[in-house]
């Protein structure tokens, strides 16, 4: 069985129950999650041997985050302890024409104060086949960006496949560097690149002509071919470049599909209509996890790998919380066209 490592920050998520606004909340629902930990949880559900690497405070909240990962079958023995606090984010879940809102409280978190040399990446990557990181981590702090680069360079030297989800987060780039100053050196070491239309534009100034995802749900995959080609030209190490295609009809109704470019051929998936979204946070993470699983499992079938990723992330939109808690059988059932939602007895 192939082994995967993901690296990033896991946080405490606090949300008003249901669709309440922050101003209505007397209690908050508690979830632990983050981009790279969400990928790890999904992969563990698919039966993949996966470790999550991070830095957590040596306190009760750090312990709770560890317990949540262990409960989901994610390896945690490479996580280091230290720092002052666990990062927090507050989520107000939107509905219909009211969008969701996120408020971050993660300054000076344990991973924000991480430094090069704290993690022995040669040890972490022993017996590992795949390493995944996202654009969220280098946005947190210079130290997090430095450690991320350290990990990528070690993975490259050891022949470990490296993937990234570009994940642009405007609210996080606050430490004096722009994405354009930091991201190119990191992405240059990647074999697989995932991003959406905002990620490509904000990180590298690339934008598909004539595309506006804020109006209507029809998103044409072929419109993104030029962006994928430019990304591959900019980062020639990348063997596969992928984008998710989300059309926002409302906060409760999105269209969802994806395209993959391998340097020669553009692969497209069917478009799903997700008409009653339960929780869209983690949708991209669930796509990335599905893609990693698909590319490792269906090595000679990029179309099937992409179809698995889109179906997996479609199902995530029905699940409350950050992580996608579905099985391979459930994803493959949807891939076969069974979206009936019938009771399984």
Q: At what angle do helices 328-335 and 302-316 cross, to 10 degrees?
A: 110
- Tell me phi and psi for residue 133, to 5 degrees: -140, 170
Res 345 pLDDT > 60: no
| Residue 306 near residue 291, CB atoms below 8 Å | yes
pLDDT value at residue 264: 93
Q: How is residue 221 written in tokens?
A: 């995959």
Q: How many domains does the chain have?
A: 1
pLDDT at 210: 58
Torsion angle defined by CA atoms of residues 271, 292, 207 and 175, in that order, rounded to the nearest 10 degrees: 130
Does 180 reside within a domain?
A: yes
DSSP assignment string, 37-103: HHHHHHHHHTT-EEEEE-EE-SSHHHHHHHHHHHHTT-B-TT-EE-SS---EEEEE--BTTBPPEEE
In a domain, 88, yes or no: yes
Q: What is the mean pLDDT of residues 267-277?
A: 90
> 83-96: per-residue pLDDT in tens?
999 999 999 998 89
Which of the listed ranges 170-179, 301-310, 330-339 does the model predict with the highest average pLDDT? Answer: 301-310
pLDDT over threshold 80, residue 209 = no
Model confidence band, residue 207 (pLDDT cutoffs 50, 70, 90): confident
Is position 64 within any domain?
Answer: yes
CB 175 within 8 A of CB 144: no
pLDDT band at 200 (very low <50, low <70, confident <90, very high): confident
Residue 342 lies in a domain: no
For the stretch 39-67, pLDDT in tens is 999 999 999 999 999 999 999 999 999 99
Tokens of 110: 């344990």
pLDDT above 70 covers a percentage of the chain that reads 94
Q: What is the Cα–Cα distance from 124 to 151, expressed in whole angstroms?
A: 9
At residue 211 the predicted structure's pLDDT band, cuts being 50, 70 and 90, is low
Task: Tell me what the pLDDT averaged over the chain comes to.
Answer: 92
| Cα–Cα distance, 127 to 137 (Å, whole number) | 24
> Has residue 263 been placed in a domain?
yes
* CATH code of the domain in which 89 resides: 3.40.1190.20
- Check residue 316 and give its pLDDT: 93
**Tell me, what's the pLDDT at 268?**
94
C-beta of residue 315 within 8 angstroms of C-beta of residue 256: no
d(CA 115, CA 37): 20
Extract the tokens encoding 102.
Answer: 């996120």
User: Which comes out higher in pLDDT, residue 114 or 255?
Assistant: 114
What pLDDT score does 337 carry?
85
Domain, as residue range, for 192: 3-335
Q: What is the pLDDT of residue 219?
A: 58
Phi, psi of 188 (to 5 degrees): -60, -25
Would the pLDDT of 214 be above 80?
no
Model confidence band, residue 73 (pLDDT cutoffs 50, 70, 90): very high
Does residue 101 belong to any structural domain of this protein?
yes
pLDDT tens figures, 233-259: 999 999 999 998 888 899 889 888 899
Separation of alpha carbons 89 and 11, rounded Å: 7
Is position 47 within any domain? yes
pLDDT (average), residues 97-124: 95
62-68 contacts: CB < 8 A, separation 24 or more?
62/86, 62/110, 64/12, 64/32, 65/10, 65/12, 65/32, 68/10, 68/32
The model's pTM is 0.93
Q: What is the pLDDT of residues 152-187, one digit of tens each?
A: 999 999 999 999 999 998 889 999 999 999 999 999
Q: How far does CA 228 lie from the centroid of its chain?
A: 18
Query: Is 36 part of any domain?
Result: yes
């Amino acid at each position: 069985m192939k082994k995967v490592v993901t690296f990033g920050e896991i946080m405490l998520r606090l949300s008003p129950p249901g669709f309440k606004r922050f101003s209505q909340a007397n209690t908050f629902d508690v979830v632990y999650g983050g981009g790279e930990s969400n990928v790890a949880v999904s992969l563990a559900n698919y039966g993949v041997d996966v470790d999550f690497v991070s830095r957590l405070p040596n306190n009760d909240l750090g312990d709770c985050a560890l317990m949540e990962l262990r409960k989901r079958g994610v390896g945690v023995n490479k996580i280091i302890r230290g720092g002052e606090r666990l990062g927090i984010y507050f989520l107000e879940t939107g509905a219909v024409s009211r969008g969701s809102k996120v408020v971050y409280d993660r300054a000076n978190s344990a991973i924000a104060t991480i430094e090069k040399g704290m993690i022995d990446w040669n040890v972490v990557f022993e017996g590992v086949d795949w390493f995944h990181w996202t654009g969220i981590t280098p946005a947190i702090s210079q130290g997090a960006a430095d450690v991320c680069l350290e990990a990528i360079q070690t993975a490259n030297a050891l022949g470990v496949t490296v993937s990234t989800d570009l994940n642009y987060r405007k609210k996080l780039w606050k430490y004096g560097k722009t994405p354009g100053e930091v991201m190119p050196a990191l992405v240059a070491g990647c074999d697989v690149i995932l991003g959406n239309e905002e990620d490509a534009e904000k990180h590298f100034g690339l934008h598909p002509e004539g595309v506006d995802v804020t109006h209507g749900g029809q998103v044409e995959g072929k419109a993104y071919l030029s962006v994928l080609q430019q990304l591959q030209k900019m980062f020639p190490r990348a063997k596969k470049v992928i984008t998710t295609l989300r059309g926002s009809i409302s906060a409760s109704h999105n269209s969802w599909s994806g395209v993959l470019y391998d340097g020669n051929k553009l692969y497209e998936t069917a478009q799903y209509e997700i008409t009653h979204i339960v929780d869209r946070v983690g949708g991209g993470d669930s796509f990335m996890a599905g893609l990693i699983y698909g590319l490792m499992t269906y090595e000679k079938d990029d179309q099937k790998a992409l179809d698995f990723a889109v179906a997996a992330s479609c199902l995530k939109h029905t699940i409350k919380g950050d992580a996608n808690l579905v099985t391979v059988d459930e994803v493959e059932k949807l891939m076969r066209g069974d979206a009936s939602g019938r009771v399984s007895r």
